[in-house]
Structure 1
């Protein structure tokens, strides 16, 4: 494998008139690197591991983040084929999952795929090992500004950290969309890691979506159950809707779902609590805002608008970046999802938001009328057009046609009127808090 240095610009002296240089730190020379990663969370950790896996050597790489990520601060759940590089890191995986509605319980065989759980500690540990092998430097600092002149990128940091001059910047920090969307929802959730006194869970089967939860007036809710062992499981309540709940609201919804599952709270201990907010919007995210700055993760369009799923696309981006650098190409991944998928997501979001389709019915019909593997690959954005036609035809025709016409009309109005300000979209957050036993 080549080092990838051929696609990176050589260090150049900063011009004296550069405004970035006239705002202090004139006394210290900038640190020159080939690649700077802004943000050190999941996206950056996956990139570091991919660089190591693809044999990228000889690059000067730095990670700039105010926090050195360690431990269990989040959990990712995704589907893929067994045998990948993440297998040794998984906390659990399932080839059989349940989709539950008030009317039916479906057990789905996902083969040749599987549903997998990955906790952050293993990802951060692997990234730290990759850092050591790659000779990566790390700056514990926030980023003040980023200036791309087309040849190098000047990254100005806060505090006493030096300025960085990079050939390329990969930026995974949360960013608002480039312009307003026609529909903006949120995937928001709270989960409890439950420890049982005796065997209680079936580790061979997970609940992917359980729509028996009370449905919000505008949106869709569901619960799910991911057992790691017969005595330890993640139980979570999730909503796709425009507004967040209060803390008490999430706890009440979770307690209700726990009772719905028939779990005796007296025999359970809440060991950890997870909270998350992820944007679901058809607003575009600018993944390549300047010649040598590339955004990854949600900021780079990796979040699927109609579901909030992000991990699989984020993982693809990391692999594409590493392959490009290994082959001496610019580290610019293709769009996370095909344009036709983004359009289908916009239509589905509009139909759900306007209430022309019900959320439980919409998702239940997808799984009832298609092979589970096809639905999961569709949600990941990896299906062919013929498969997508089959998936979309399993939804109710009239509501989707109505949503399509409304989406087209909305797009035409947007072209004819002045740009609107971008509304505040909460950045993606997923936090895990250890709750001591009481």
Structure 2
């Protein structure tokens, strides 16, 4: 079944009926800007480009030809260029542990759900109204080549220098629907989980399976989003919890999440959700059904983002996911303004880089999650027991030094001091590795 089977009178129901772009007979031969990927970053950038000076022609190439089941969440900071695509929101949230429940609220910055189909529908309406942006699905991109590669070879054969010619600039985007010449190409496909990182770095895989479920009787409290429920967390296992977004009394996203260093961890997410639904709401198997599903892996790492070597002719939107939490929606929306500006100006798109304080705090927290997973539930419980606006400022990178100090003092002292020591030790390891690469000793040379 698909999400179209849900009652369209429920909040966020646009995601169930939002149309996808129709079939495309041919792509344009040339555009000013090609955006590869019609997800969060791609659509945010395209919408900003639609109102940019000079009205550049923009082609968004999405590889999927079927409805996108993904969703994104964040606390609303006013940065979303498509606010009309909001699917649902909550002023109140909670974190459940075996030791109790922590609740928070910040009505000025509600917790927001945006489903991919709602966002695509809103972006499509904007594109149709403006006329300079074209959205195409079912157009996976195999490779992007610098247009000068072929032009330089042709010019060499003909004895001329064509580097300044229009047809020798930009890149050729090779898609399943044919090639497109673009002056600028943006890779907006989102983060991929790396297989490994260099010594002195941390890599956890945030693996999840979210199941949209419909129930025969009303059981969900639509006033409160459950950000984490650690009930049944095993002391000897990785961090695991359930995430619940209730959009109506009979409809909710119930998501099983795991923070694991093992990319092939055999954890059964589907069974975890099934057991949780029965335990929390007392629902028998015949009283609920799965109507849609989303799954994925979010990298949680302090390692620099690696770009795809096959896409050397592109600018890249990457690294916007916060390493310590996996949240990236609001960060991507904020960064899209700078991305669009640089694309229009013809200047290189800057990498998304957190400030030193944020990078340091995230590095310490990642090591805590890796080394002390059995204490993660208590840490998150303590964090979300703090005043809601303080937590939201911290989660959305708007916290002050005093805010950060309050949060640090609220967490467990000994395990975080150990994580701090490990962070400093890892920095030394990375420094030595860098020195060996830059100044290899005789025995290190090939």
When normalised by structure 2's length, the TM-score is 0.75
1:130-157 CA distance string (max 9 Å, x none): 3332423466241323439899432341
1:33–1:60 CA contact under 8 A, matched in 2: yes
| 359-368 or 405-414: bigger deviation | 405-414
2:337 is aligned with 1:316? no
2:210–2:294 CA contact under 8 A, matched in 1: yes
Q: Counterparts of 2:79 and 2:362 in 1: how far apart (Å)?
A: 30
1:307-354 CA distance string (max 9 Å, x none): 11121111112233345567x574735635223212211111112211
Q: Counterparts of 1:56 and 1:408 in 2: how far apart (Å)?
A: 46
Q: Could you say what secondary structure the match of 1:261 adopts?
A: helix
1:193-246 CA distance string (max 9 Å, x none): 121223222212221211113336342111122111111111121111223577
Q: Counterparts of 2:131 and 2:248 in 1: how far apart (Å)?
A: 36
Which residue is 2:35 aligned to? 37
Q: Counterparts of 1:168 and 1:145 in 2: how far apart (Å)?
A: 8
Q: Could you say what secondary structure the match of 2:84 adopts?
A: helix
Which residue is 2:422 aligned to? 406
Among 93, 101, 107, the alignment partner of 1:111 is 107
Large movers: runs of 4+ above 6 Å: 148-151, 245-248, 287-292
2:388 is aligned with 1:372? yes
> For residues 320-331 of structure 1, what are the structure 2 equivalents within 5 Å?
320-322=338-340, 328=345, 330=347
Q: Counterparts of 2:193 and 2:207 in 1: how far apart (Å)?
A: 17
Following superposition, the deviation at residue 292 of structure 1 comes to: 7.6
Unmatched 5+ stretches in structure 1 = 1-29, 420-438
Q: Residue 288 and residue 197 in structure 1: after superposition, are their counterparts in 2 closer, same or farther (change >3 A)?
A: closer
Which residue is 1:201 aligned to? 220
2:33–2:182 CA contact under 8 A, matched in 1: no
Q: Counterparts of 2:173 and 2:203 in 1: how far apart (Å)?
A: 32
Which residue is 1:388 aligned to? 404
| 253-262 or 227-236: bigger deviation | 253-262
Following superposition, the deviation at residue 185 of structure 1 comes to: 0.5
Q: Counterparts of 2:413 and 2:393 in 1: how far apart (Å)?
A: 22
1:288–1:294 CA contact under 8 A, matched in 2: no
Q: Could you say what secondary structure the match of 1:228 adopts?
A: strand
Q: Could you say what secondary structure the match of 1:226 adopts?
A: strand
| 306-315 or 137-146: bigger deviation | 137-146
Following superposition, the deviation at residue 87 of structure 1 comes to: 4.2
1:194–1:233 CA contact under 8 A, matched in 2: yes
Q: Counterparts of 1:176 and 1:274 in 2: how far apart (Å)?
A: 17
Q: Residue 329 and residue 167 in structure 1: after superposition, are their counterparts in 2 closer, same or farther (change >3 A)?
A: closer
More helix per residue: 1 or 2? Answer: 2
1:36–1:169 CA contact under 8 A, matched in 2: yes
2:237 is aligned with 1:239? no
1:270-299 CA distance string (max 9 Å, x none): 212222211111111158999984321xxx
Q: Counterparts of 2:193 and 2:264 in 1: how far apart (Å)?
A: 22
Among 128, 131, 139, the alignment partner of 2:127 is 131
Q: Counterparts of 2:233 and 2:42 in 1: how far apart (Å)?
A: 37
> For residues 285-304 of structure 1, what are the structure 2 equivalents within 5 Å?
285=305, 293-296=314-317, 300-304=318-322
How many pairs does the alignment contain? 383
| 203-212 or 370-379: bigger deviation | 370-379
Unmatched 5+ stretches in structure 2 = 1-27, 149-162, 438-446
Q: Residue 337 and residue 182 in structure 1: after superposition, are their counterparts in 2 closer, same or farther (change >3 A)?
A: same
Q: Counterparts of 1:399 and 1:263 in 2: how far apart (Å)?
A: 37
2:380 is aligned with 1:363? yes
Q: Residue 76 and residue 390 in structure 1: after superposition, are their counterparts in 2 closer, same or farther (change >3 A)?
A: same
1:146–1:155 CA contact under 8 A, matched in 2: yes
1:187–1:238 CA contact under 8 A, matched in 2: yes
Q: Counterparts of 1:227 and 1:279 in 2: how far apart (Å)?
A: 26
Q: Residue 117 and residue 356 in structure 1: after superposition, are their counterparts in 2 closer, same or farther (change >3 A)?
A: closer
Please tell me the root mean square deviation across aligned C-alpha atoms, in Å: 3.3
Q: Residue 229 and residue 137 in structure 1: after superposition, are their counterparts in 2 closer, same or farther (change >3 A)?
A: closer
Following superposition, the deviation at residue 373 of structure 1 comes to: 2.1
Q: Could you say what secondary structure the match of 2:178 adopts?
A: coil
Following superposition, the deviation at residue 160 of structure 1 comes to: 6.3
Q: Residue 120 and residue 137 in structure 1: after superposition, are their counterparts in 2 closer, same or farther (change >3 A)?
A: closer
Q: Counterparts of 2:64 and 2:220 in 1: how far apart (Å)?
A: 36
When normalised by structure 1's length, the TM-score is 0.77
2:58 is aligned with 1:67? no
Q: Counterparts of 1:376 and 1:295 in 2: how far apart (Å)?
A: 28
Q: Counterparts of 1:288 and 1:270 in 2: how far apart (Å)?
A: 36
Which residue is 1:26 aligned to? none
2:210–2:256 CA contact under 8 A, matched in 1: yes
Q: Residue 71 and residue 57 in structure 1: after superposition, are their counterparts in 2 closer, same or farther (change >3 A)?
A: farther
